Amino acid sequence: MKPLLLSLLIAVTLWADAHIFVYHRFGDSRYPTTNTTIEELKKEFEYFKNSGYEVIPLKKLISTLKKKKNIPNNWIVLTIDDNFKSFYTNALPIFKEYNYPFSVFVYVEATQKRYPDYLTWEQLREIKKSGSIEFHSYGHKHMTYLSDAEIKEDFEKGLALFEKELRIKPKVFTYPYGEYSPRVQKIAKTYGFDAIINQNMGAVSDFSDVYDMDRTALVGKSNLKLYLRYKALNAKWKEPIMFPDNAILKSLYVKTNEKMKKGGVYITGHGWLEAKIENGDFKMELNKKLINKRSRIVISVGNKISTKLLIKDKYGIR
């Protein structure tokens, strides 16, 4: 009986929370790290179709989350960052063939200044008829290195052009390079978006924060089946909250409701460590030097994960 039970469990865990994925370029072999080949895209779409997944519009996931309704285990949301031309020429016909909804996040300056690799306003207006068009900043800058005034200027310039050209207000925002700090997030939230999506690998569950939704990149050779197994871990991060001043990550303190006694902690540049969980709390001294100015701390219990992105903020205030 045991092997059967085990395979049954694996089959069940394959469906785990909703997942938001992000693509960038399609069928564009010049940039292998941000590209998805057409062959790979079709393989992924076939997998969704044949494994009982439902690809839903982003707004449906957001409204379900806001109404605090149950998030089904088989929901998938597809997003595309950076308004590259290759979406229109190579991928859009396939999205249409499968009838899969999508959201394109626009780097406004690239379209406004007609950078050759990017979609024109005309093409975006056409795409708008079959999917949603959302906001990905004006200048695609590393926002944690901008002052408050510079961040606000970027939003205001980008949103004004977006609304003028597309005649709609974007509902959702994604950070350039997926980079943010508490300060950047606080400013982004003042622009009235329904949701803000990060680029931290994970899943979306009933308790997820609509202004900090996890999203997994599907680029290069991605391990889709593994990503689909991840569930969201309900975690309250007390420490760390932001990139430490001296780059020394002193301690970890995260509250969860988990019953298990052991979990894992991943730190960029240091790999996975075993963590003791006491009454649901991850509480440990780390004293690790963060090697990257962009580091991720991931805590895990079984296949549930929660990520804290730590990026050096030039104006590092809470």
Query: In this structure, what DSSP letter does residue 143 have?
Result: G
Residue range at the interface with Zn ion (CB under 5 A); choices 78-86, 115-123, 144-152, 251-259: 78-86
179 is a site residue for Zn ion (CB under 5 A): no
Q: Which of 44, 81, 134, 165 binds Zn ion (CB under 5 A)?
A: 81
Helices within the chain (DSSP H only): 2-13, 38-50, 58-66, 85-86, 92-98, 108-112, 121-127, 148-166, 182-188, 224-229
**Smallest distance from the beta carbon of 265 to Zn ion, in angstroms?**
28
- Nearest-angstrom CA–CA distance, 45 and 16: 18
**Of residues 198-217, which lie at the interface with Zn ion (CB under 5 A)?**
none
- In this structure, are residues 266 and 237 in contact, taking their beta carbons and an 8 Å threshold? no
Number of H helices, E strands in the chain: 10, 18
As a whole number of Å, the CA-based R_g of the chain is: 20
CB of 141 to Zn ion, least distance (A): 11
Q: Is 165 in the site for Zn ion (CB under 5 A)?
A: no
Q: Which of 28, 44, 82, 109 binds Zn ion (CB under 5 A)?
A: 82
Which of the ranges 77-85, 123-131, 214-222, 253-261 carries the binding residues for Zn ion, by CB under 5 A? 77-85
Residue 109 as a binder of Zn ion (CB under 5 A): the answer is no
Supply the minimum distance, in Å, between the C-beta of residue 174 and Zn ion.
Answer: 7
Instruction: Determine the residue type at 157.
Output: K
154 touching Zn ion, by CB under 5 A: no
Contact flag: residue 134 with Zn ion (CB under 5 A): no
Contacts with Zn ion, residue ranges (CB under 5 A): 81-82
